[in-house]
Chain A
Amino acid sequence: MRVYLLKRLLLIPVTLLGITLLTFLVMKLAPGDPSQVLKAQFSGGNMQATEANKKALEQWRKDRHLDRPIYVQYGYWLRDLLRFDLGRSFMPPYPKVSGIIWERMWITVIMALIVFTLIYTIAIPIGIVGAAKQFTLWDRILTVAPFILYSLPSFWVGTLMIVYLTGKAFPTTGYYPKSIAEAGFGTWLLEWVRHLTLPIICETYAGFAFLSRQMRSSLLEQIRQDFVRTARAKGLSERVVILRHATRNALIPIVTLFGSLLPFLLAGSIIIEYLFSIPGMGQLFFQAVLERDYPVLMGIETVSALLTLVGILVSDLLYVLVNPTISYE
């Protein structure tokens, strides 16, 4: 177990290195660079590139090592990363990237956690019913309905929600800006729930199709096992057989899916946060893309890759914990 854990932990930096290198290359090899955007900024709006502006731009590029070859730039970036420094944004007032990501990350992470909880609490019962009542109408409905939900584009559903559901009950934005101290706890909580309901629904509904399907097939596999037949032969009720005996075992592979859901949720956050103007990481990324703010883009990629890797690690560990028959020696 310890060896396995060590191996996995050692693999994280390697994978992270691969991801950041690939991201860096992709971004740098794409045509154009931020100094095109900045030209306007340096010349104070008029596009005349005067001598002074040009000098300032040169100096600016030099300070950020943009005049060096790509591998040197990556080296600098990596060096800074090892000092836990993600650099500064290209955009005034040039805030620290780690600072803005930290500022924006928590709401994305909180939403992801809520969505995770919801997905699991909805998907597992659906999967169980589907497997227990296989070939019935219930099964068909419970397999096809999530499937259809999975195919619903979230930006469309979000738009429809904004048009038809917002107003009295729900506001059009997904973020409540006041703090507890300002609003008082009761109103604060209520407002948070009101603001976040629609975005959370939007992010949740697609996820549980995948999960309930996995749950169903996992449970079906268990139901065919000998121990289930034994349990039935003992005369236990079907309810006990399914819920006590089969489901427990069927849950094991579901746990591991935790890791692979994370990238899916982070990707979804871009569109949802854009749609409901939630100042989270996805919105930050979208802005940074428009401004070609490389340090911010790299920072977000790194952070979300790290989150994903940790998620996968945790789900691997949970897998061992919940399943005593497996040991990673």
Chain B
Amino acid sequence: MSDPPVEGKSYGDIIVAAFRKNRTACLALWLSVGMMVGAALTPLFANDRPFYFRGTMPGEYRKSFNQLTRGAYFNILGLPGRLRAEVEKFEKRSATEAEFIKRMDDAEARRLYPTISRLRKRADEMPEIRGRWASSDEPLEEMLSLMTPEEKAAFEIVIARVVRDLRSTYQGLLDNALDGVSLKLRELADQLDSETAARTKALEAKFRAAAGGDYLTTKEDRRAALKGAVDEARAALDPEKVRHQAKLRYPLFDSLNGMDVLFIVTTLLALVTFGPLTWARLKHLRPIGRRWFVSWALVLAPSAAAAVVWELAHEVKFQSVSYKKGTEDGSIQMTSSLWPPIRYRFDEVPEVREGVSFPSPPDNTHILGTDFMGRDLLSRMMWGSRISLSIGFVSAAISVFIGIVLGSLAGYYRGGVDIALSRLIEIMLCFPSFFIILAVVAFLPPSIYNVMVVLGLFGWMGIARLERGEFYRLIGQDFVVAARALGATNVRTMFRHVLPNGLAPVLVSASFAVAGAMLTESGLSFLGFGVQEPNTSWGQILYTGRSQLQHWWTFVIPGAAIFLAVTCYNLVGDGIRDAVDPRLKT
């Protein structure tokens, strides 16, 4: 910044030019960009299903058919009976103590508990009642006559609650079973000619009608109706008689969810648009992309839209089909297909075979070997990078956000605000933060979102300090005075005028923060907290590999990946620092 202003070059241009001179940092930047792209596109690189194939799936058809006519049918048919039995058990007997213990968190249950336990104690004093209480399914008339009105009321409330809960549970189960039927029917229809396929629509309506109604009372009618639906399905969809339609299918794309689509589309769009833009800028062809948020919006808006559309319109079919096994045993016949380069998914456990023990070392089928369950390590590393990198980025983003806001406030308003915030920063800096992060992550239910938030909440102090210093430096300058003189509000001055000029040091910290968060996350995973099976992150792979010390690949590879990524982000941060503050170099 001691350089004199250069005509026609923005501050950003100068920083970029200085950064580009640092070859190590550039290499690290490219590597980290490559890692991000790889992480986002992982579902396309490492998956257990082909991008597309043309062919039929007779085995799958038969399986779906069997599941529909046997499993789904009995599921639906069995449910009301099971519910009825449960409800009757509770109505006839008493609310058991177990019910209360299950609900001890519930205020009402705690209130009723003394009443019921008093009743129970009295029953315990009468041996013949106690015996029947324990064994019989009959209503206990004696019991009822013993009860005081208060106890009776408590009893009623408990039973009503139990029955209500049971009903909603069973309604959920029934809905699930019906959804299962619909899915199976759709899967079947998908393999048939359009004429037969049309008939499944009517069948689905029939199943739904048969399952509806008050399922506690009309038992026999339902059985008949369901039987009718199933018989009709049997007749119409018999695997021996139907003609299978050879079709072009896209199993890999079918298995993506909205989040995957968001990542993939964003990455591809960013590559397509930013690549040429950055190149043009670096070659000084045109100073494009100054309004970087416009270009980001141009990338993010369509991908977000694509993700939402996908999430709403995409139909999940054949999710549990194993395409590899299918091609081997002939239940899937492919005439042409295209597979991803790595034919394994992160959670794909091979079948147990004689003479094969895991973890198996790197060879031609598993380039990086397998873990102790036989899952392909390369695939796990790639899928794990998605979680490791996203934890790094999201928690760094949270830290940066909090740091910028608090630092700006402290630096802009000074006085009491500054003193209070500085004190807070100092307290947080003295915090043995890894201790508390470990405690919190261990106490909260295991989820990567908790890890992200906790890491973010304990990492903002350095950034807030930096930003406060930047504000102190900038606030006396003429352009700030000018902005204020023009009547800009405090918020506008802070975030539109001062902040953009004080962002460069934050960029440095942000890069270090990503590295730091990744390191902490892998440390947590290494201690067994963090990502849970079958999902995976690099730290988690290292954690599972740690117990098989004789198999080097299970812990050397994930550790090396963590090391490489952390080094890259640190080197990038270092490069930006040198570029921003040339005083350190000369």
Question: Is B257 among interface residues, defined by CB-CB distance under 8 A?
Answer: no
Residue from A220, A289, A297 with most neighbouring chain B CB atoms (10 Å): A289
- Taking CB atoms, residues of chain A closer than 8 Å to B495 are none
**Contact in complex: B101, A32 (CB < 8 Å):** no
A271 touching B552, Cβ below 8 Å: no
Partner of A285 from the list B431, B438, B559 (CB cut-off 8 Å) is B438
CB of A18 closer than 8 Å to a CB of B: yes
B571 at interface, CB cutoff 8 A: yes
Contact call A22/B431, Cβ cutoff below 8 A:
yes
Identify B542's interface contact among A15, A156, A266, CB under 8 A. Answer: A156
A residues within 8 A CB of B426? Answer: 15
Closest to B427 in A: A18
Contacts of A51 in B (CB 8 A): 117
Q: Is A32 within 8 A of B527, CB to CB?
A: no
**Which of the candidate stretches B44-52, B136-144, B401-409, B518-526 sits at the interface with the other chain?**
B518-526
Cβ-defined partner of B443 (8 Å) among A27, A163, A263: A27
> In this assembly, does A237 line the interface, its C-beta being within 8 Å of a C-beta of chain B?
no
User: Given A270-B438, A286-B438, are A30 and B444 also a contact pair (CB < 8 Å)?
Assistant: yes
Q: How far, in angstroms, from A49 to B442 measured CA to CA in the complex? A: 26
| Interface of chain A residues 58 through 75 with chain B (CB within 8 A) | none
Q: A159–B549 Cα gap in the complex (Å)? A: 8
Q: How far is the CA of A62 from the CA of B79 in the complex (A)?
A: 45
Given A26-B436, A301-B435, A312-B430, A148–B567 Cβ distance below 8 Å? yes
For B423, list chain A residues within 8 Å (CB): 14-15, 18
Q: Which of B24, B522, B542 is the one whose CB lies under 8 Å from A144? A: B24
* Interface-centre pick from A155, A220, A263, A267 (highest chain B CB count, 10 A): A155
Rounded to whole Å, the gap between the CB of A89 and the closest CB of chain B is 15
CA distance A274 to B435 in the complex (A): 13
CA of A262 to CA of B304, assembled, Å: 44
**Chain A, range 233-253, C-beta contacts under 8 Å to B:** none
For B440, the chain A residues whose CB sits under 8 A away are 26-27, 30
Residues of A contacting B442 in the complex (Cβ-Cβ under 8 angstroms): 289-290
A31 close to B443 (CB less than 8 A): yes
The interface bits of chain A over 293-317 (1 if a CB of B lies within 8 angstroms of the residue's CB, else 0) are 0000100110011001100100000
Residues of B15-55 at the interface with A, using a CB-CB cut-off of 8 Å, are 24
Give the residue of A49, A148, A263, A267 whose beta carbon is less than 8 angstroms from that of B101. A49
Chain B residue at minimum C-beta to C-beta distance from A18: B427
Chain B residues with Cβ under 8 A from A304's Cβ? 432, 435
- A267→B559 contact, CB < 8 A: no
Say yes or no for A176: interface residue by CB 8 A criterion.
no
Q: Contact between B434 and A153 (Cβ–Cβ < 8 Å)? A: no
**Are B101 and A156 in contact (CB-based, < 8 A)?**
no
B552, A308: Cβ atoms closer than 8 Å: no
Q: Which of B443, B555, B566, B570 has the most CB of A within 10 A?
A: B443
What is the CB-to-nearest-CB distance from B283 to chain A, in angstroms, rounded to a whole number?
A: 28
B445 at the interface (CB under 8 A from A): yes
Contacts of A308 in B (CB 8 A): 430, 432
A15 to B432, CA, bound (A): 13
User: A138 contacts the other chain (Cβ, under 8 Å)?
Assistant: no
Cβ of B313 < 8 Å from any Cβ of A? no
Q: Are A155 and B443 in contact (CB under 8 A)?
A: no
In the complex, residue of chain A having the shortest beta-carbon distance to the beta carbon of B568: A151
- A173 an interface residue at 8 Å Cβ cutoff? no
The A-contacting residues of B in range 531-556, CB under 8 angstroms, are 542, 546, 549, 552, 555-556
Interface residues of A in 143-167 (CB under 8 A from B): 144, 147-148, 150-153, 155-156, 159-160, 162-163
Not counting A267-B434, A301-B435, a sample of 9 additional A-B residue pairs whose C-beta atoms are within 8 angstroms of each other reads: A15-B427, A22-B427, A147-B574, A155-B523, A156-B559, A263-B431, A267-B435, A271-B526, A285-B435
Q: List 17 A-B contacts (CB under 8 A).
A: A15-B426, A15-B430, A18-B423, A19-B427, A19-B430, A23-B436, A31-B445, A32-B443, A49-B101, A153-B526, A155-B522, A156-B542, A159-B546, A163-B555, A266-B434, A270-B435, A285-B435
